Amino acid sequence: MELKLFSSKYLADINKWLTAHGKTQVELVDMPSLGFVAENVAAGFLRQGEYMGVIDAIITNPEASSEDRNLALDLIFERLVITSKQCNIKVLFGFSEDEHTLSRSERYGFKKSDMTLMVRGI
């Protein structure tokens, strides 16, 4: 399986996956500039600051096989970590309520936090 850089041609698929997961669709302008896509399977995105990165979103195609989703997610996590190192990011973090994502993140060196996320729309 090969990862490709996110481009606008993948937006319709990603919005279809978001809808299938009960999430809100996104506009291209809202997407992080850096993302990786395993075509028809999954995508992951990185927002970058000077020394900090945030895994902005990880989304899967619920119609893809479990095996394909797992492989794609492993490749995406690995690529996000490697890319963060290449961009001189010192701290990479993300937020998830999904136990599978949290377990996978631990395999890639992340530590779980008991921090509560505060969010406000502006």
Kindly list the averaged pLDDT for each block of 10 residues, start to end, along the chain of length 122: 94 95 89 92 91 87 95 93 90 79 78 65 54
Rounded-to-5 percentages of helix, strand, coil across the chain = 40, 20, 40
pTM here is: 0.83
Strands (E), the chain: 4-5, 34-38, 42-48, 52-60, 91-94
pLDDT at position 3? 96
pLDDT at 121 (0 to 100): 52
CA–CA distance, 90 with 50 (Å, rounded to integer): 9
How far is it, in rounded angstroms, from Cα 13 to Cα 63? 12
β-pair partners for 47: 54
> What's the rounded Cα separation, in Å, for the pair 52 and 23?
26
Is residue 18 within 8 A of residue 25, CB to CB? The reply is yes
Q: The domain 4-107 is classified under which CATH number: 3.30.559.10, 3.40.50.2300, 3.30.450.270, 3.40.630.30?
A: 3.40.630.30
Taking the domains of the chain in order of start, what are their residue ranges?
A: 4-107
Q: What is the pLDDT of residue 94?
A: 81
